[in-house]
Structure 1
């Protein structure tokens, strides 16, 4: 996740230089909703933006992995499976560090859109920011469209 945040920082700098803009909007899904927070907190991203916060249980899969001793395998074994996925498990050192202090900046506008049918971000409410304010919008997809049953992956192409 930290490597991805550095890559995001380089990309934002390229976009700003190419367009002459002073700020960018960032849209992220899943892991991409945590990534900007790393960028804001550690790489001075707040000044450049206009724009599964508390971890997931992976619908209980994390507990099964822990119970079978598979959760703490060396990172090299997990990387092909999605190292960032393990960094997004509730209680991970990455999320504990990221969520120390405030989870939002007043200069950034946040729209956290979640689905109650998300099978990867469990509970789905962990996709919301805990901080409140006029710049933070925590929205459950079903409050906008009660008949939308989109899960995690369907949200990428949900245009109902």
Structure 2
């Protein structure tokens, strides 16, 4: 027991030091009032006024690493075809909003998806919010509640511009799990979302359960609150919130079903996910959810979490979920593990 307390004390100290270091390059977000969908300037990202990437379209990339490096060098890069607010959806289609993961922005996450979906005739949108301003490709590190409120306002803007009644969401990691689920369950998104297609979503926690358990069960309540506070002050609250036993995760997923009637849910996950661990943490076993394990269709797909939005097999599955009436057989392509 003494050893556990010593480890807890060391971890608390290290967490505070790391969080303080991040705090020197980032301001804490302002919490909007419940129901307020305005975007505080504190959570806008460089090159993305009002959350809209405005630094010009970037080239299509084939790897998350090259896309992320390009995003870092060119803040506010727009994925090709995205965020055309003059776009009008075809009959039977909803606008598609692509939600990035933690430590990622619209371009880094979706430089492959956006031009492909645009060519298929979809109106595509993707926002940047609530990250580290000194690392402009690191969006969505801040409090997930604040990010969800910003996304709520962005969706309203998309609906107003396109004249649509609902959007379809495709999200990766945080952007497929806690972020849209908070929006749908807490902020009225269930009335504005037709489909949620979640790619490797962090629904029930990232990292091993042992780590998540240790933080909550070994540490005292005061130590845990200290960690939460340090992460929030450093604008990296989303890291702690995505632990399976965080208070945020318990609030969102621990009070009954997280799904809502009227929303169609598709979860696509791979067994080689090295961030959402075990990979089954991604799945929701609730009404209205279709859980897809990539390897049940494409045995030689070894894509890790980090490169999941550049997996062409996953893309085909996501497009089929977007338009199930015109679904096509997936042509499997070997995917290497890129950790």
TM-score (norm 1): 0.87
In structure 1, C-alpha distance between the alignment counterparts of 2:231 and 2:189, rounded to whole Å: 31
**Structure 1: unaligned runs, 5 residues or longer:** none
Please tell me whether residue 21 in structure 1 is matched to residue 21 in structure 2: no
Report matched runs for 1:1-160 at 5 Å: 1-33=144-176, 34-51=178-195, 52-56=202-206, 58-59=207-208, 62=211, 66=215, 72-73=226-227, 75-77=229-231, 80=234, 82-99=236-253, 100-131=255-286, 133=287, 135-159=288-312, 160=333
In structure 1, C-alpha distance between the alignment counterparts of 2:235 and 2:150, rounded to whole Å: 20
In structure 2, C-alpha distance between the alignment counterparts of 1:77 and 1:38, rounded to whole Å: 19
Is the partner of 1:26 in helix, strand or coil? strand
Is the partner of 2:175 in helix, strand or coil? helix
Task: Give a deviation string over 1:32-60, Cα, whole Å, max 9, x none.
Answer: 1221110011110000010122223x146
Greater helix fraction, Structure 1 or Structure 2: 1
In structure 1, C-alpha distance between the alignment counterparts of 2:213 and 2:184, rounded to whole Å: 33
**Structure 2: unaligned runs, 5 residues or longer:** 1-143, 196-201, 313-332, 334-339
In structure 1, C-alpha distance between the alignment counterparts of 2:185 and 2:145, rounded to whole Å: 11
Deviation for aligned residue 1:136: 1.3
**CA separation of 1:45 and 1:77: change in aligned 2, threshold 3 A:** closer
Matched-pair contact (CA < 8 Å) for 1:103–1:130:
no
Is the partner of 2:304 in helix, strand or coil? coil
Matched-pair contact (CA < 8 Å) for 2:231–2:237:
no
Is the partner of 2:183 in helix, strand or coil? helix
TM-score (norm 2): 0.43
Task: Give a deviation string over 1:113-142, Cα, whole Å, max 9, x none.
Answer: 1111111100111100121x3x31111111
In structure 1, C-alpha distance between the alignment counterparts of 2:262 and 2:219, rounded to whole Å: 44
Matched-pair contact (CA < 8 Å) for 1:121–1:152:
yes
Is the partner of 1:11 in helix, strand or coil? helix
The structure that has the greater radius of gyration is 2
Deviation for aligned residue 1:5: 0.5
Point out which structure has higher relative CO (alpha carbons under 8 A, 6+ apart). Answer: 1
Deviation for aligned residue 1:106: 2.1
Q: For the aligned residues, what is the CA RMSD?
A: 2.4
